[in-house]
Amino acid sequence: MASNKPDHYATLGVFRDASSEEIKHAYFEAAQRLHPDKNVAAGETELFLEIQQAYEVLSNPKRKNLYDATLPPDLNFSTVVKHEVTFSRPNLVKLGEPQLLYALLEVSPREEKESLPTPPLNICLVLDRSTSMQGDKMDMVKATAIQLLRSLRQEDVFSVVAFSDRAEVIIPAALNADKKKQEGRIQMMQSSGATEIFQGLKAGLEEVRRTVDPSRVNHIILLTDGQTYGDELDCLKLAEEAAAQNIGITGMGIGHEWNDIFLDALASKTGGSSAYISKPKDIQHLLIDKFNALISTYADEVLLDFKAREGIKISYVFRLQPEGGSIAIESPMKLGPILRDTPLHVLIEFIVDPSALKEDDVSVLNGTLKLSIAARPTPVPPIRVNLKREVHANPSAEPPPTRILSALSRLTLYRMQERARSAADAGQFDEAARHLHNLATHLLSKGENSLAKTALFEAENLEKMHAWSASGTKDIKYHTRALLMGGSKEKVK
């Protein structure tokens, strides 16, 4: 096929061996996004016609067969993003016991940073205004919300929801609203009541849904200083609904009273993560950083579809950047975003059972990368990912790649605190203290003296009091997480 002819499979964002149902589903999704009744942007009518033409050809078996005969070989090459996989070892070994294998997956844009478009935003701030937020915390939240409001571009949609034991829409989602009037409504926010996150999250999701658009980055930023009781499962269901519409969630906790396990779980449902704000004065810094990251989004969602393989267990998955955090092991796996200047780095830990080593090479993961890029009106063609290793009789003398060693070294610190926390939760306080002592030793060797002292202090608390200090678990968790991204001082406040 000549290079100037359209690639109907790429237009619909499907593989060449896609089933008729997959082709039909892709067409309906693309048609809904680009239909002239909904989109009046220049060029989008032509794109809609290209979608229609692609579907007319590929949905007709005879026309499809004739078209396929004109295609060049399928090279499984993405013109949009590039992906690279680095393994911890060049080969697997025929052993009578399970063996570990690590794979570092990097996904980044092919385009130059300067040429990448910045997508418009559809952002809702969901702000806790319960009684505990009064004073410096509420003053800083108001000032930062106003600062973000003033920084909006003409094409951005912004909304604000305040909640305690009920929710109120302070600023409805809209384009080009009266900013002076909106600032006044933010200034009038008052603290009162208890904390019920479900109420705020539900109202925030409704606001984002009112103007949800696949050509925007649709996101909720939830900020709270307390725990919610009895509505956690309802919140997680809302997060699943948000994920189904490609609406991201970021959770931010102020102080030490909030439930980081819950906020992590809530955000990870959408490929997001939680953040820790130890002091009210740092609310502004963290919120603005998050806002800027959303503006610099290239792909707002990267999914890894895969099927479990006999004898191969994915035991741990962690996103190293752009936002560090554990990733739920499920298909599709929500890997997180790609930023304009920050590729997506994900470390996957496999446990390979001897029963899987029947051939000369083993596929530890066979799946598909799927991306959602707001700045691209047409679907992004999926990318096949097949992670394979040869099986040898003897181990290789080749050392692990430096990139893998560096990633594992940084992740080891985070996993030490995870083990300490798990042991303490199980009542094994001596074991938890031992993990923290090991963590402190590693931190000292890296020059992280302050965090090492915190780990030792918490180890002593666990040994003597059988309890963490008020902020102990969060201080250690989020500072070791920040080290994954290049330094605690810059990343955790």
Chain segment 332-358, per-residue pLDDT in tens: 999 999 999 899 999 999 999 999 999
Rounded Cα gap, residues 209 and 307, in angstroms? 31
Which residue, 241, 248, 298, 272, is CA-closest to 123? 248
41 pLDDT above the threshold of 60: no
pLDDT at 318: 95
| Residue 17: count of CB within 10 angstroms of its CB | 8
pLDDT at 4: 56
- Between the alpha carbon of residue 231 and those of residues 128, 160, 199, 201, the distances in Å are 15, 21, 9, 11
pLDDT, tens digit, for every residue of 182-212? 999 999 999 999 999 999 999 999 999 999 8
Which residue, 264, 252, 411, is CA-closest to 345? 411
User: Which structural domains are found in the chain, ordered by start?
Assistant: 8-68 (1.10.287.110), 81-115+298-392 (2.60.40.3670), 121-295 (3.40.50.410), 402-491 (no CATH)
Dmax (CA) of the chain: 77
Rounded Cα gap, residues 448 and 487, in angstroms? 9
Q: What is the CA radius of gyration of the chain?
A: 24
Residues 6+ apart with CB under 8 A from 218: 122, 208, 212, 245, 246, 247, 248, 300
Rounded Cα gap, residues 285 and 277, in angstroms? 9
pLDDT at 35: 56
The whole-number average pLDDT for the span 130-141 is 95
Give me the percent of the chain exceeding a pLDDT of 70.
93
Query: Within 13 A of 99's CA, how many CA atoms are on the CB side?
Result: 17
**115, 415 Cβ separation under 8 angstroms:** no
The distance in angstroms from the start CA to the end CA of the chain is: 56
The whole-number average pLDDT for the span 155-181 is 92
- The pTM score is 0.86
2 pLDDT above the threshold of 50: no
Residue 70: pLDDT band (50, 70, 90) is confident
**398, 382 Cβ separation under 8 angstroms:** no
Q: What is the dihedral of CA 258, 259, 262, 264, to 10 degrees?
A: 80
pLDDT at 13: 79
pLDDT at 322: 92
| Residue 289: count of CB within 10 angstroms of its CB | 14
Rounded Cα gap, residues 50 and 6, in angstroms? 8
pLDDT, tens digit, for every residue of 223-254? 999 999 999 999 999 999 999 889 999 999 99
Q: Mean pLDDT, the chain, as a whole number?
A: 89
pLDDT at 491: 40
Rounded Cα gap, residues 297 and 118, in angstroms? 7
The whole-number average pLDDT for the span 422-434 is 97
- Tell me how many degrees the CA angle 127-131-137 measures, rounded to the nearest 5: 55
